[in-house]
Structure 1
């Protein structure tokens, strides 16, 4: 990294151990990775490019966060639109987010 003049930002660098519960138990606890005297720690979930990856790799957190966001916006405009329009907006928001 020094040859290419790159620096590690330890505050924003994170890594994720993905696997079944049994596989993750082999690596449980806190064990940091040391790169150029900087410590990088594990995280239970990581947000990259708008997608939340979790340790089970099942996207449960990502899906629930997306639905919460969509329903928040629908609740904000619900009193101004018909129920059928709200359902159409819900489908449009969720399907465009997951495609």
Structure 2
């Protein structure tokens, strides 16, 4: 059974690619995430503020793209990214305080 994951691609006002993820990221749906990440080239802002769960399979997909990602996360995911070492390889930041879309 596949865990629900909604992926919404877009662009920031400066033209940078953006992908908003909502739901859970786990082994059952990492193919969708990998496909969405592979569908863009260059820098990508990945908004994970709507993600409630991220397992090691999801982390492995993020590691493969770490050199070009900016991850926008809530405090829930920050420790996972730090302990895994991903926070040391890519930019990790919180959501914009004014509620604007992540840049």
Which TM-score band applies after superposition, normalised by the shorter structure?
under 0.3
Higher relative contact order (CA 8 A, sep 6+): 2
Q: Which has the higher helix share?
A: 1
With structure 1 as the length reference, what TM-score do the two structures score?
0.22
- Give the structure with higher Rg (CA): 1
Q: Which has the higher strand share?
A: 2
With structure 2 as the length reference, what TM-score do the two structures score?
0.22
